[in-house]
Structure 1
Amino acid sequence: MMTLQNELLAAISWAAQQGWTPATGGNFSARTEAGYLVTASGRDKTRIQADDLLVCNLGGKMLEGNGTPSAESDLHAALYRLDPTIHCVLHTHTVASTVLSRRFPQGIKLSGFEMQKALAGNVTHDATITLPVVPNSQDMQELAEHVRNGWPMPWGFLVSGHGIYAVGDSIASCRRHLEAIEFLLTCVLEESRWS
């Protein structure tokens, strides 16, 4: 049986293999009884190992591990405090999410895409849904406030000019949300080339 740690490491490795963690970017976490497991700052996600994960409490304080949590670890903590149904946060940096979040700072509308059904609560491609975009800030308290103001965001959100924060009630659902969001954003970006 796969442990939480191994499942998180597999999700990180998978995201890195997609090219979604350039220049050691991105951070990844999963809720635990003590708080959450999170990637240490500056680690190469293509070579992720167990000792690259830290244990933090829900206040963001490191309890175990070698290294330091990234500043964005505080946003993970804020998400876990905000919504007890969140059990995983996967944050990546992709071209589509970076470009489109700058182009559509009020949110990215999606309609007619079959892949919308991969996002929890969606049962038809006919619905129009919006991927939320929040303003970027280097101040994690300010960024967390932007997220709180836009909540609920059941699949996650984009940070303008930054990337995707996918959330889920399990690592598997979070992976599905991340993959679906990235696929949908790539479709929108491709369509924009033809309009």
Structure 2
Amino acid sequence: MNEQVADVVRAHHALAVAGHDDMVWGHVSIRDRDGRGIWIKASGWCFDEIDPDRVLLVSWDGEVLEGEGKRHIEYPIHTRILTARPDVDCVIHTHAMAASAFASLEVPIRAINHDGVLFTEPDIPRFTRTGSLIRTKELGDALAETLGDARACLIPQHGLVAVGMDVAHAVMHTVLLDRACSIQLTAMAAGGPKRWSDPAEVALKVAECWPPSQIEAGWDYLARQGRR
């Protein structure tokens, strides 16, 4: 099996385990190593239904080059971010519930626990040009501009986008962002938060808690659970 196809399958299964599936919506892409475009799941399938036969190679202009099935209409999320970010090889878009709820509040993410330190100092960007579908090159470029060099971006009225240098980092950024939003929503419901990490502690915890070895450990766990 094509290694990139295998990674697309594993990523979708891992995200399903983490609760990021939304019936047949949301998608993971990986940059094609030969520069032809992106590997992404076919439209019409849930994360836990993805197998190698449901992964497509889609060109930068949206043409299906390999595989059977229809491409997602929001492919510009992936193609335009990957065009703007040569440091990124994987892009993920989900409709995670906690992140979607938190995005509506217009409050900064606080580093309440380990999860939040990756998305503060500076605060995570928010794409507010539209909460509808990102189906054009122009909207994809606007999203990429808002994302900038961040690990992820909230899209109020829609969901989130997360990126990574590889599938492990992108999946973990997706999962950790939603967990950070969830714990902050819990704290806010209880009348807080009252305490969170200051910038110095944020920098320390990014280095101590989320070096590549720990990103890989989290990804390996989710990938194992996805195979069960």
The two structures have a TM-score, normalised by structure 1, of 0.85
Q: In structure 2, what is the Cα distance between the partners aligned to 1:129 and 1:48?
A: 35
Alignment match of 2:124 (pick from 115, 128, 131)? 131
Aligned partners of 2:134, 2:26: CA distance in 1, in Å? 17
Runs of 4+ in structure 1 deviating by more than 3 angstroms, as ranges, are: none
Query: Residue type of the partner of 2:11?
Result: A
Q: Which runs of 5+ in 2 are unaligned?
A: 192-228
**Tell me, what secondary structure is at the counterpart of 2:19?**
coil
Q: Is the 8 A contact 1:31 1:87 kept in 2?
A: yes
> Gaps spanning 5+ residues in structure 1: where?
none
Q: Is the 8 A contact 2:109 2:184 kept in 1?
A: no
- Give the secondary-structure state (helix, strand or coil) at the position aligned to 1:108: coil
For residues 143 and 19 of structure 1, the distance between their equivalents in structure 2, rounded to whole angstroms, comes to: 27
Q: Would you say 1:65 and 2:67 are equivalent positions? A: yes
Question: 3-state DSSP class of the match of 2:163?
Answer: strand
| 1:147 paired residue number | 143
Provide, for residues 81-122 of structure 1, a one-character-per-residue CA deviation record: whole Å limited to 9, x for no partner.
111111001211121111111222xx63323533345x3xx8
Verify the 8 A CA contact 1:154 1:168 in the aligned structure 2: no
Amino acid in structure 1 at the alignment position of 2:41? T
Q: Give the secondary structure class of the aligned counterpart of 1:167.
A: strand
- What RMSD, in angstroms, separates the aligned Cα atoms of the two structures? 2.2
Out of 169, 172, 179, the residue aligned to residue 183 of structure 1 is 179
C-alpha separation in 2, matches of 1:175 and 1:145? 22
- How does 1:14-163 map onto structure 2 within 5 Å? 14-32=14-32, 33=34, 34-104=36-106, 108-117=108-117, 119=118, 128-135=121-128, 136-141=131-136, 142-163=138-159
Aligned 8 A contact 2:76 2:134 in 1: no
If you compute each CA radius of gyration, which structure gives the higher value, 1 or 2? Answer: 2
Contact 1:80–1:87 (Cα < 8 Å) also in 2: yes
Equivalent position amino acid for 1:138 in 2: L
> Which residue is 2:9 aligned to?
9
Q: Answer whether contact 1:86 1:167 (CA < 8 A) is retained.
A: yes
Of Structure 1 and Structure 2, which has the larger fraction of its residues in strand? 1
Query: Which segment drifts farther, 1-10 or 127-136?
Result: 1-10
Report the secondary structure of 2:104's partner residue.
Answer: helix
Judge conservation of contact 2:18–2:175 (CA < 8 Å) in 1: no
The Cα of 1:139 is off from its aligned counterpart by: 4.7
Q: How far is the alpha carbon of 1:129 from its aligned partner?
A: 3.2
Secondary structure of 1:134's partner? coil
Shift of 1:37: 0.2
Structure with greater helix percent: 2
Aligned to 2:204: none
TM-score, structure 2 as length reference = 0.74
> Deviation per CA, 1:57-76, whole angstroms, max 9, x where unpaired?
22222211111111111221
| Aligned length, in residue pairs | 186
